[in-house]
Amino acid sequence: MNENSASDGARTVLTGDDIERVLTRVAFEIIEANKGIEDLVLLGIPRRGFPLAQRLAARIAASADTPIDPASLVGQLDITLYRDDLRHSTTRTPEPTKLPAGGIDGKVVVLVDDVLYSGRTIRAALDALSDWGRPRIVRLAVLVDRGHRELPIRADHVGKNLPTAKSEKVRVHLEEIDGTNEVMIEAAE
């Protein structure tokens, strides 16, 4: 995995090729942990968690013994109104929650997000999830775990552990949203 420095104080820690390799590994970890794909649902947390969930679902569906539509494995879980920082942060536009046709009751739900930091986003996702059903198991897959947890939450599947200073920012750029695929660390200003 490359670590390139940019002149603006940002450095690339995952290139597009690195992200693709990491997602392939995480997809196989999810299949192995679930002992197959039965009752599996991937719920992406907007914004960048949803395209990551779609990419993981495509890899998981491609590895299935019988043909399966990746869209049947994936959904989106909006957490905007469940955040504990609504009063203190910039306004977020809620995204629609979209569950697969089979719902989430009794399923193995894998929450998918781009960066795990304080754990507050995932706490909000767990609260939101309980309003939509009762999964049998909930797991967490993240592209990057940067540490600095404020809540007792850990990821089951991690693309890259990336120790950072609290003052640094981790930026994930995905083709579907940003037109490019990379993960960068920006130095404190």
Domain ranges of the chain: 18-162
112 φ, ψ to 5°?
Answer: -125, 130
Q: What is the pLDDT of residues 11-25, one digit of tens each?
A: 999 999 999 999 999
Structure tokens at 25: 């590994």
At the second CATH level, the architecture of 18-162 is 3-Layer(aba) Sandwich (3.40)
E strands, the chain, in order: 4-5, 10-14, 40-44, 74-76, 108-116, 137-145, 157-161, 169-173, 182-186
CB-based burial label for 166 (10 Å; 0-12, 13-18, 19+): exposed
Mean pLDDT, the chain, integer: 93
Tens digits of residue pLDDT in 56-110: 999 999 999 889 999 999 999 999 999 887 666 666 788 999 999 999 999 999 9
**Residue 121 to residue 104: CA distance in whole angstroms:** 20
**For the residues 108-129, what does the mean pLDDT come to?**
97
pLDDT of residue 65: 87
pLDDT for 124: 96
Predicted confidence at residue 6, as pLDDT, reads 52
For residue 7, is pLDDT > 60?
Answer: no
Q: Is 39 left (phi over 0), alpha (psi -120 to 50) or beta?
A: left
